[in-house]
Structure 1
Amino acid sequence: MILDSVKQWLDEIVIGQNFCPFARFVRDNKQIRFVEHQQQTIESAMLVLQEEIQRLEADNETATTLIVFSKGFVDFNDYLDLLDIANEMLEQWGYWGKYQLASFHPDYLFEGEAVGSASHYTNRAPFPILHLLRERDIETVLTNYPHPEKIYENNKIRSLELGVNYFKQKLAQYRHK
């Protein structure tokens, strides 16, 4: 149920609104792994992250993994602590430069943006998520994508067109499935 909601969010918001122009390819080719994590500690989250890195190391067919925290890290600041530690662990484990994390949270805020801006919804998800990506895949896609530097600006424009109410309704729908 939780993962179904995340998949619907991915299909309708991330892919449907073209916030990530690369997501459709891996979704259509069933190369995304979705993992629900119900524990609420950073230690357990780091174990899952390490397991998922090892899984990606052993499986070239899977392009990326979304680790969905269905119970923990509800507070955005706690989530940011998790993200900081996860990035530190990538470096400590020797995976910095090989993997990177994208971050999504129901209360995501971009620094420097007005708190009420719809632009935050480009990184808002029904649940806290760590998105584990291979850097080589990102680099490959970026070399073939015209003007990748415009992705953020295009996303901001699209989110403002859709408006805060649209996103609030969609996220509420995904959380209450």
Structure 2
Amino acid sequence: MSTLTAEDVEADTRHWIEKAVIGLNLCPFARAVYVKNQVRIVVSTARHLDAFLDDLDRELDFLVNTPAEEIDTTLLVHPTLFPDFEVFNDFLNVVDDVVAEHELEGVIQVAPFHPLFQFDGTAPDDVTNATNRAPYPTLHLLREESVERAVDTAGGDADAIVERNLQTLRDLGADGWRLLMTRR
């Protein structure tokens, strides 16, 4: 993995956004901000957890100090720091603490994505886990205000979106997901 460049990681992330998140309509709100270039993708090269937390601090500050019309959401991606999903999942408690330290609870929410993401109670190979699988461990920093506005615009039924996504992935199947994620 040491041959990966930040450009490779960003390209893989954009492929995932375009083919899965937008292409499968897993997030019906993503297309609008993506086509307006309001999605910031930051590839962290931190060599240890403390430096990654510094990156998170900077991105939280950047997002709250930048108008949503310029940057609505940020993806903080690290290609190598969290190869183990359980470690990444445990780290999310620290992420919640950082959001609280910044006094951003109710302002920014963080959605986790990982190549080995596994929902509690599912088997590792359950294709529905792919709703939260990205090419690399990713923290998606979202403005609560933007999420609420998008849910309201979509009819206010987030549960229906989740159920539709699960069915989309079941219909696609594991082989279809792998093919979709293959960058050509």
Give the alignment's TM-score, normalised by structure 2.
0.89
Where 1:163 maps in the other structure, the secondary structure is: helix
What is the aligned length? 174
User: RMSD between aligned alpha carbons?
Assistant: 1.4
Report Cα offsets for 1:70-127 as digits up to 9, x if no partner: 1210110111122221111111221111100011100000112233211001111111
Partner Cα separation in structure 2 for residue 156 and residue 3 of structure 1: 26
Partner of 2:75: 66
Partner Cα separation in structure 2 for residue 170 and residue 107 of structure 1: 16
Report Cα offsets for 1:31-58 as digits up to 9, x if no partner: 0000001224221121111101111122
Q: Which runs of 5+ in 1 are unaligned?
A: none
Partner Cα separation in structure 2 for residue 30 and residue 168 of structure 1: 27
Which residue of 8, 11, 35 maps to 1:4?
A: 11
Q: Which runs of 5+ in 2 are unaligned?
A: 1-7
Which consecutive aligned stretches of 4+ in structure 1 deviate over 6 angstroms post-superposition?
none
Q: 1:31 to 1:107 in 2, by over 3 A?
A: same
Partner Cα separation in structure 1 for residue 149 and residue 55 of structure 2: 27
- For the 8 Å contact 2:110–2:142, the answer to whether it is kept is yes
Which residue of 107, 113, 116 maps to 2:122?
A: 113
Partner Cα separation in structure 1 for residue 55 and residue 30 of structure 2: 22
Deviating more after overlay: 27-36 vs 105-114: 105-114
- For the 8 Å contact 1:103–1:131, the answer to whether it is kept is yes
Partner Cα separation in structure 2 for residue 93 and residue 7 of structure 1: 28
